């Protein structure tokens, strides 16, 4: 597979542009060929025009055709796993094992949506049949289902070169919904994106779909993303990244003549709460779970815990020194880019310059020359200092966490009330802890998309019940998941058909239920056909 370094508009290579950037090997700082050309305004226009042109056709194809595409991409991705992982490893310095895992997750995501389409009930078909005899007015026939919103822009994430990038969950769920995708690649792994795009187009060709359903744009500044989000043909945006960038994207979308929805998964410190009983009885197990959670993939998970709350006392001292010992023994490792490494160091320094914050692990020295390398760190403070210094409440993206000791039950409730919206929260507790902390659990439920019992938030299982979202600032819209089968609901809206003839109805709403899906028929969930009265 050759790399050409140009944007791909509906499968056609762009002629290149004025600005270029290079792909950097995160581990060594070396330049990886080829040179990447940033997309030009004309590329954005062409991609949006193609997407708008194919939308009416693509969105009305039988869902099975879209399922076929997703299955084909999964197969073709697996076939090229070695080449993709090799390039992703060179670009991001994430380990081959992690990247093989991420590729397999990416394939599973594609298959989950294929399965959802094949089963078909996800469209939430609702039918309320007519009653021409009703008084005082006849009851009309009302039927509704979820339909795709239109062409969408997806901004690739830096920390997941595969699962939250080109053919990742956002693209998979948007294409599954019937929305053409304009994908802006993250500049930290342009080559990986190009390889995956080639595979995606191969599948589009194999399955016989119009190439206009997908375009890949390169840029290492904000201008291409801005132009794409502002393009009138675009109907929605998905984003994964920092809070600052997420809010900027949301503002751009809100400032359009016709505002469009943005689904931004942003930053969260995902705190872990250790309750007294658990600390007393399961300290060792908790230390190991937290140490792993902090250092996994050099702390580059959106669900890494940046804060750990624990009750003060001798057990807390044991846990703190045990954790510090494990973390101090972890060698330096490269993050996915010099930018995130630099930001990580700044975040840790910023905390160390706050009042009452200390470092439990040693000073950072003997770092390799390449600027992406970082050491993990364990910091520490107490509840009073935490409550009064808001800069301690943010996420630290990278392998560090802040231990915060609390005095008593009222204080842990106060801490819970002080935190913002979270993707996930971990709570270590015994049954007695939980029954004593009903208030705390109520507050945490209001703060988080996911409550993890006796575990850390880090692994996000791919399934139907996953809500990977949460109140602001974890996301900008608290009711959609970026992971699992429900992620498709970001890209659809309900459409009602009133008194339509059978010929005017989509298959999902026809009397005979030709797709055999489950529907809400006059209030009851059923796979039955509609019988005329």
CA distance 479 to 460: 17
- Decide if residue 65 touches a copy of itself (CB under 8 A): no
End-to-end CA distance of the chain: 61
Q: Min. distance of Cβ 128 from a copy of itself in angstroms?
A: 4
Q: Min. distance of Cβ 219 from a copy of itself in angstroms?
A: 27
Query: What does the per-residue mask of binding to a copy of itself show for 76-105, with x meaning CB under 8 A?
Result: -------------------------x----
- Decide if residue 529 touches a copy of itself (CB under 8 A): no
Q: Min. distance of Cβ 346 from a copy of itself in angstroms?
A: 23
Q: Which is nearer to a copy of itself, 126 or 184 (CB)?
A: 126
Q: Which is nearer to a copy of itself, 144 or 295 (CB)?
A: 144
Q: Min. distance of Cβ 195 from a copy of itself in angstroms?
A: 24
Q: Which of 132, 135, 208, 258: binder of a copy of itself (CB under 8 A)? A: 258
Q: 432-451: which residues touch a copy of itself (CB under 8 A)?
A: 434-435, 439, 441-443, 445-446, 448-451
145's enclosing H/E stretch is: strand 142-148
Q: Which of 244, 288, 499, 512: binder of a copy of itself (CB under 8 A)? A: 499
Q: Min. distance of Cβ 514 from a copy of itself in angstroms?
A: 18
Q: 457-476: which residues touch a copy of itself (CB under 8 A)?
A: 459, 461, 463-467, 469, 471-473, 476
Backbone torsions φ then ψ of 296, nearest 5 degrees: -55, 125
DSSP alpha helix (H) spans, 137-275: 169-177, 190-207, 223-230, 243-254
Q: Which is nearer to a copy of itself, 260 or 341 (CB)?
A: 260
Q: 330-389: which residues touch a copy of itself (CB under 8 A)?
A: none
Closest CA to 509 of 529, 491, 489: 529
- Decide if residue 210 touches a copy of itself (CB under 8 A): no
* Cβ partners under 8 Å of residue 97, min gap 6: none
Q: Which is nearer to a copy of itself, 254 or 355 (CB)?
A: 254
- What are the angstrom distances between the C-alpha of 504 and each of 138, 497, 498, 520, 521? 21, 9, 10, 19, 19
- What are the angstrom distances between the C-alpha of 452 and each of 266, 428, 457? 19, 8, 6
* Residue 315: both structure tokens together: 């057990």
* Residue 53: both structure tokens together: 């042109």
* Residue 439: both structure tokens together: 């208030």
Q: Min. distance of Cβ 529 from a copy of itself in angstroms?
A: 16
Q: Is the peptide bond before 26 cis (omega within 30 degrees of 0)?
A: no
CA 186 to chain centre: 14
Q: 284-303: which residues touch a copy of itself (CB under 8 A)?
A: none
Task: Kindly write down the DSSP assignment for every residue of 201-227, as one continuous string.
Answer: HHHHHHHT--GGGEEEE--SSSHHHHH
CA distance 392 to 354: 8
Q: Min. distance of Cβ 86 from a copy of itself in angstroms?
A: 21
Q: 124-143: which residues touch a copy of itself (CB under 8 A)?
A: 126-128, 136-137, 139-140, 142-143
């Amino acid at each position: 597979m050759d790399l050409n370094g140009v944007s791909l508009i509906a499968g056609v290579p762009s002629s290149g542009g004025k600005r270029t950037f290079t792909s950097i090997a995160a581990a060594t700082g070396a330049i990886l060929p080829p040179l990447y050309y940033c997309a030009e305004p004309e590329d954005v226009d062409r991609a949006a025009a193609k997407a708008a042109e194919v939308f009416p056709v693509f969105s009305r194809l039988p869902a099975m055709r879209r399922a076929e595409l997703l299955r084909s991409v999964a197969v073709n991705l697996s076939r090229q796993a070695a080449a993709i992982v090799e390039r992703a490893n060179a670009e991001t310095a994430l380990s081959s094992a992690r990247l093989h895992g991420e590729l397999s997750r990416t394939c599973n995501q594609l298959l989950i949506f294929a399965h959802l389409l094949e089963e078909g009930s996800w469209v939430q078909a609702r039918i309320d049949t007519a009653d021409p005899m009703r008084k005082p007015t006849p009851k009309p026939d009302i039927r509704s289902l979820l339909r795709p919103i239109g062409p969408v822009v997806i901004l690739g994430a830096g920390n997941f070169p595969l699962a939250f990038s080109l053919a990742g969950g956002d693209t998979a769920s948007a294409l599954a919904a019937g929305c053409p995708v304009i994908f802006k690649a993250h500049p930290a792994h342009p080559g990986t994106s190009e390889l995956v795009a080639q595979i995606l187009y191969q599948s589009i060709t194999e399955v016989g779909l119009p190439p206009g359903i997908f375009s890949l744009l390169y840029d290492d500044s904000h201008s291409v993303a801005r132009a794409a989000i502002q393009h009138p043909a675009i109907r929605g945006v998905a984003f994964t990244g920092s809070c600052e960038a997420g809010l900027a994207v949301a503002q751009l979308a809100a400032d359009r003549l016709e505002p469009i929805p943005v689904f931004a998964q942003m930053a969260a410190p995902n705190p872990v709460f250790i309750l007294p009983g658990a600390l007393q009885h399961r300290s060792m197990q908790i230390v190991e779970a937290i140490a792993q959670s902090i250092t996994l993939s050099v702390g580059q998970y959106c669900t890494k815990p940046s804060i750990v709350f624990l009750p003060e006392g001798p057990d807390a001292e044991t846990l703190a020194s045990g954790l510090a010992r494990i973390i101090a023994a972890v060698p330096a490792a490269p993050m996915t880019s010099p930018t995130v490494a630099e930001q990580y160091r700044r975040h840790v320094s910023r905390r160390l310059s706050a009042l009452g914050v200390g470092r439990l692990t040693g000073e950072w020295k003997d770092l390799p020359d390449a600027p992406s390398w970082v050491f993990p760190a364990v910091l520490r403070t107490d509840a009073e200092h935490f409550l009064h210094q808001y800069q301690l409440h943010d996420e630290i993206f990278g392998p560090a966490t802040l231990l915060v000791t609390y005095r008593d039950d009222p204080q842990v409730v106060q801490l819970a009330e002080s935190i913002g919206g979270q993707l996930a929260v971990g709570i270590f507790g015994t049954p007695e802890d939980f029954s004593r902390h009903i208030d705390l659990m109520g507050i945490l439920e209001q703060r988080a998309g996911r409550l993890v019992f006796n575990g850390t938030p880090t692994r996000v299982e791919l399934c139907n019940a996953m809500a990977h979202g949460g109140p602001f600032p974890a996301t900008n819209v608290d009711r959609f998941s970026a992971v699992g089968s429900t992620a498709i609901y970001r890209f659809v809206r309900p459409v009602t058909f009133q008194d339509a003839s059978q010929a005017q109805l989509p298959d999902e709403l026809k009397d005979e239920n030709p797709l055999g899906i489950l529907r809400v028929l006059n209030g009851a969930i059923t796979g039955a056909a509609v019988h005329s009265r």
